[in-house]
Amino acid sequence: MSAKIKNDQLLAYLFDGKPHTLSGPMSRWIEASRGFKEFASEYRDKIRKKIRITQSDSAVQDLMAELDVAYQLVQQKRFRVIYEPYGSEKGRGPDFAVAFKSFTFNVEVTRIHSGSLERNEKSPGFERQQVNGRLVDTVCEKLGQMRPGMSNVLIIVSDSDFFAALDLDQAMTQMKDRVEQKEEGLYGRYGFVKPADFFKYYLRLSAILIRPLGSEETKVSPNLWLNNQAKHPLTSPLKNALQKLQQP
C-alpha cells in the first residue's frame, strides 16, 4: 500500500469499512495533509490494530490525541516522524521519535481531561490546586519513559483551559520542592526512595508542551515549558518548531 492509494481506500483499511468515532478526524487529516497521509499509510497496520482494540470512549479520545499530535508534527516539513520506535524493547517507550536536522528527539503524548476535576464555587483556588496536582501526577507517571542520551518532550493534550493557562515554571518548581522534601504520598505512588530516583529521570525531560484538545478550533496557544536542568535541552531551532505546532 503506497502513498498513491486513494484516501477512501486507506480509510476503509484502517477502519475495516465500519463507522468509528475516529473516522471523521482521520478523514480530515488525510485529506488536508499529504505528510499525514504518508504517515498513516506507512504505519497503517499499527494504527489499524490500535483502532480495533480501543474500546472505551476515554481510550478512543487518548488515541485521537496521539494521532492529532502526529498530524501536527508532520506539518513541520523538516520533521521525520517515527511511530513507537522502541516498541520491541523492554518497558514502555515514547510514542514518537522525530528526526530533525542532524539529531533525533523523542515525543511522549498523554491526555488529561477536565471531567475529572471537581468544581468548588466557594473556593476559587480549588480547581487551580487540582490542576497542579494533576500535572504532577502526569509528569511523574511519564518520567520513566524518557530515554537517556537524547532530548525528550512530553506533550500533554487537555480540554481544560486551566491547563493551557497554567504557570508551568511555578508548577514544576513546586513539584521539585515536594520531591526534595520527600513528600510521603508522592514517593509512595511513584516508587521514589530518595530525590536522586526522581532526578535521574527528570533530567532527561527536555520540555513540556500543553496543547488544547481540538486545537484547530481554538484560539488558545500551546504552553511550552523548557527544563533548564535537562541534560539534553532543546536547541533554538527545535524550540521554534515546537512553538509552531497549531498556532492560532
Distance CA 69, CA 59 (A): 15
Place of cell 497521509: 37
- pLDDT bucket at 120, cuts 50 / 70 / 90: very low
What are 167-193's pLDDT values in tens digits?
899 999 989 998 888 887 777 788 788
- The H or E element that residue 51 is part of is helix 44-53
- pLDDT bucket at 161, cuts 50 / 70 / 90: confident
Cell of 145: 519513559
Query: Rounded to the nearest 10 degrees, how much is the dihedral formed by the CA atoms of 170, 181, 137, 128?
Result: -40
Q: How many residues appear in the chain?
A: 248
- What integer pLDDT is reported at residue 217 of this predicted model? 53
The mean pLDDT value for 75-84 works out to: 95
Single out the residue of 140, 143, 149, 144 nearest to residue 231, CA to CA: 149
E strand intervals along 89-175? 96-100, 103-112, 152-158
Residue 155 pairs in a beta bridge with: 109, 209
- What integer pLDDT is reported at residue 187 of this predicted model? 76
The mean pLDDT value for 201-213 works out to: 92
Whether this prediction's pTM lies above 0.85 is answered by yes
- pLDDT bucket at 165, cuts 50 / 70 / 90: confident
- What integer pLDDT is reported at residue 216 of this predicted model? 53
What are 94-106's pLDDT values in tens digits?
999 999 988 899 9
Helices 23-32 + 57-74 axis angle, to 10: 0
- pLDDT bucket at 121, cuts 50 / 70 / 90: very low
The mean pLDDT value for 102-128 works out to: 69
**Residues 208 and 225: beta-carbon distance below 8 Å:** yes
The mean pLDDT value for 228-232 works out to: 97
Give the chain's mean pLDDT: 86
Taking 70 as the threshold, does the pLDDT of residue 116 lie above it? no
